[in-house]
C-alpha cells in the first residue's frame, strides 16, 4: 500500500484560492506599481511552489520515477494522470519561471503584467480539483482533501 501524505497535499491545495484571488485582482486592476509587481512575483512563485510541492508528494507517495527537475515533476505527475493532459504545457511554462523569480529576481520586469497572470487562477483551480479527483480515484475511501 502507498503512503501518500494527504495532509501536506491538502495544506498546499488549500492555499490555491488565496493565490488565485490575488492573481485575479492583480490582472484586473494592473497599474504597474512596485507593490503590484512584487505581489505578482510572490503570487506566481507561490503557484509554482504549490504545483511542484504537490507533485513531489505524489511522486513520493505513489513511488513514481524520480524527478530530475521542476519540469520533470510536472511531466511525471501529468503522465500519472494527476491533471488533464492539456494542462501540461502551461504548467511546464509556469515552473520554468522559478529560476528567474528566485535566482534572477533583480532583473524581473516588475512593472509588467506577466502574460500568465490572467490565466493562472483558472489553471491553478483546475490543477487543485484534478489532483483531488486523482487521489479519490487512486486512494478510494481514504482521500478527502477539501477544507472543513
CA atoms within 13 A on the CB side of 18: 10
Report which of 66, 61, 72 is spatially closest to residue 131, judged by C-alpha positions: 61
In the chain, where are the structural domains located? Answer: 6-138
pLDDT tier at 88, thresholds 50, 70, 90: very high
Superfamily assignment of 6-138 in CATH? bsu32300-like (1.20.120.580)
Q: 88-96 and 34-61 helices cross at what angle (nearest 10)?
A: 120
| Res 141: pLDDT | 72
User: What's the pTM value of the predicted model, to 2 decimals?
Assistant: 0.92
3 state DSSP class of 141 = coil
Residue 143: pLDDT above 50? no
pLDDT tier at 140, thresholds 50, 70, 90: confident
- The residues, ordered by sequence, that sit 6+ positions from 104 with a Cβ below 8 Å of its Cβ are none
pLDDT tens digit sequence for 15-57: 999 999 999 999 999 999 999 999 999 999 999 999 999 999 9
Residue 140 sits at the vertex; the CA angle it makes with 135 and 146, to the nearest 5 degrees, is 50
Amino acid at each position: 500500500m502507498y503512503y501518500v501524505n494527504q495532509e501536506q497535499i491538502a495544506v498546499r491545495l488549500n492555499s490555491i484560492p488565496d493565490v488565485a484571488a490575488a492573481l485575479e485582482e492583480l490582472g484586473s486592476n494592473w497599474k504597474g506599481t512596485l507593490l503590484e509587481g512584487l505581489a505578482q512575483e510572490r503570487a506566481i512563485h507561490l503557484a509554482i511552489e504549490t504545483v511542484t510541492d504537490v507533485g513531489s508528494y505524489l511522486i513520493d507517495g505513489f513511488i513514481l520515477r524520480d524527478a530530475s527537475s521542476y519540469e520533470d515533476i510536472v511531466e511525471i505527475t501529468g503522465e500519472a494522470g494527476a491533471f488533464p493532459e492539456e494542462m501540461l504545457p502551461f504548467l511546464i511554462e509556469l515552473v520554468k519561471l522559478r529560476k528567474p523569480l528566485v535566482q534572477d529576481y533583480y532583473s524581473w520586469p516588475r512593472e509588467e503584467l506577466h502574460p500568465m497572470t490572467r490565466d493562472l487562477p483558472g489553471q491553478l483551480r483546475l490543477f487543485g480539483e484534478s489532483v483531488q479527483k486523482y487521489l479519490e480515484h487512486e486512494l478510494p475511501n481514504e482521500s478527502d482533501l477539501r477544507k472543513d
